[in-house]
Amino acid sequence: MAAVDAAARRLGLSAGQKAADALALVPHLVTADHDPDADRRALESLCDWCVRFSPAVAVDGDDGLLLDITGADHLWGGEDAMLADLLQRLERWGVPARGAVADTAGAAWALARFGQGGAVVAPGGQREALARLPVAALRLDEAAQAQLPRLGLHRVGQLYALPRAQMAKRFGLAFTQRLDQALGAAGEALAFRRPASPWFERLAFFEPISAPDDLARVAADVLALICKRLEGEGRGARRFEVVFHRLDGKAFPVPVGLARPGRDARRLAKLVAPKLDVVDPGFGIDVITVHAYAVEALAQGQSRIDAELDAAEALAPLVDRLVNRLGEGRVWRPDPVESHVPERAVARAAPLASPAAARPWNPDLPRPTRLLKRPEPIEVLAKLPDDPPLRFTWRNRHHRVRAAEGPERIGQEWWRGDFDDTGPGRIRDYYRVEDEAGGRFWIYRQGLYGDDASPKWWLHGLFG
């Protein structure tokens, strides 16, 4: 038996029992296999659902969630209302839950598990609130938990007066740390499912909405809310996530990225609108939230479109539109890489990123306008040993070489481990040749004549 609910407990069942014993107590007991992974997944999806209350949610143990509601409770009109709403919703779905609100994660944990459900501790009131709880509420390790009652310490309040140094010596440092964390004297780092961000806004609707036009409209409204706040603090963000929460608890996130930090709600709404087809409203959307990530300082005032516009500023809207529509990898700026191997000499950078540190390409080295992704084999007739070919056949067309230039020898980068193997067969001699019609080709010979394997010729690019 992994877990029992209240009804089972009344029948005398307890967690940890053998299934056979339980069946002896309750003959018509229905059991299901314990599946910790599925439990975990369910808890995590619940955690993701809780984002409608606060962006900072952490999974706690096997059966708990911690929400950091700092700065989010005013949206419900106070902590009491917020907690009541949360518990009611869970109740409606048949997820029995107990909750509490306190200054510290430790105190909230203790009150939720050992106090009356739904307790809301006034700021700074956790010392009194915890005093009456059993020591188990302090999240202690097994040894300490077993020892304390033997010493006559049953309530948390009894621990307040004891000398700390001796306690720490006796029960370990973790003990005092847990106590401090509960009382707010020590900080506690929670592993939130998503980075905590104060940049969070939310709209709730009395009537669930489902029409696509309405979705776009409320997305624009919620974006306007957060952009107003960003503007008030002189900031802009690079990434926004608009999340549509459906009545049945499923959430549809719609991410939007910007090339430069911004806070123009109208532009953002335009970027969100084409992506709304991922949202399946079902019975209706009743809450919409928005987060801003990568928030940076941004100078006051939105730029206007005028002649004196900074070039990057003018380009940013287009880049945003294209990246959000086509995807990250389809819009790029070619950046130089210091490598002699032609296919390695170009890197893809974000279009508005700062210029690369590498040296720019040398304009005096002949390089083709079109570089084939894979060099294509050609049949050649060449004079030995080091001359460009006299004629070659590529894609079943014969070309007679009228003039040629080269060779430019490009050796392999032997310091790279990912080359197939080393040796003279990896040397490429590039020639630029022109056929009788004037077409110019970039061909290379791989390997040297006189080796065991005869060299191969390849066509790697075309010059304009």
How near is the Cβ of 333 to other proteins at its closest, in Å?
A: 6
Where do the H-state alpha helices sit in 208-310? 212-232, 265-272
290 φ/ψ angles, rounded to the nearest 5 degrees:
-140, 140
State which amino acid sits at residue 12.
Answer: G
What's the min distance (Å) between Cβ of 242 and other proteins?
A: 23
Nearer CB in complex with other proteins: 16/327: 327
Q: How far is the CB of 103 from other proteins (least distance, A)?
A: 50
Choice between 263 and 399, CB closer to other proteins: 399
- Here the contacts of 97-103 (C-beta below 8 Å, separation 24 or greater) are 101/69, 102/126, 102/129, 103/184
Task: Please say which residue, 64 or 439, places its beta carbon nearer to other proteins.
Answer: 439
Q: What is the number of residues in the chain?
A: 464
Question: Closest separation between CB of residue 293 and other proteins, Å?
Answer: 24
Torsion of CA 370, 376, 381, 385, to 10 degrees: 90
- Minimum Å distance from CB 385 to other proteins? 19
Pairing of strands 100-101, 119-120: parallel
From the number of C-beta atoms within 10 Å of its C-beta (0-12, 13-18, 19+), residue 171 rates as buried
Taking the complex as a whole, how short is the minimal distance between the CB of residue 272 and other proteins, in angstroms? 17
Give whichever of 276 and 371 is closer to other proteins, judged by the CB atom: 371
Q: Closest by alpha carbon to 241, among 292, 183, 182?
A: 292
Nearer to other proteins (CB atom), residue 186 or residue 371:
371
Q: How far is the CB of 391 from other proteins (least distance, A)?
A: 8
Decide whether 213 or 328 has the Cβ nearer to other proteins: 328
Task: Find out whether 124 and 103 touch, Cβ atoms under 8 Å.
Answer: yes
Q: Return the C-alpha torsion angle 42, 48, 54, 55, nearest 10.
A: 140
| Cα 27 to Cα 245: distance, rounded to the nearest angstrom | 42
Scanning the structure block, which residue is given the tokens 């999340």? 243
Given the complex with other proteins, which of 294 and 341 has the nearer CB atom? 341
How many CA atoms, within 13 angstroms, populate the side-chain half-sphere of residue 288? Answer: 28
Q: Which is nearer to other proteins, 29 or 356 (CB)?
A: 356
Structure tokens belonging to residue 351:
């279009």
Site of interaction with other proteins (CB under 8 A)? 305, 309, 311-319, 321-322, 326, 330-334, 336, 342, 345-346, 351, 355, 360-363, 365-373, 381, 397-400, 402-406, 432, 434, 436-440, 461-464
Q: Where are the beta strands (DSSP E) in 411-455?
A: 428-435, 440-446
Q: Residue 322 Cβ, how far from other proteins at the closest point, in Å?
A: 6
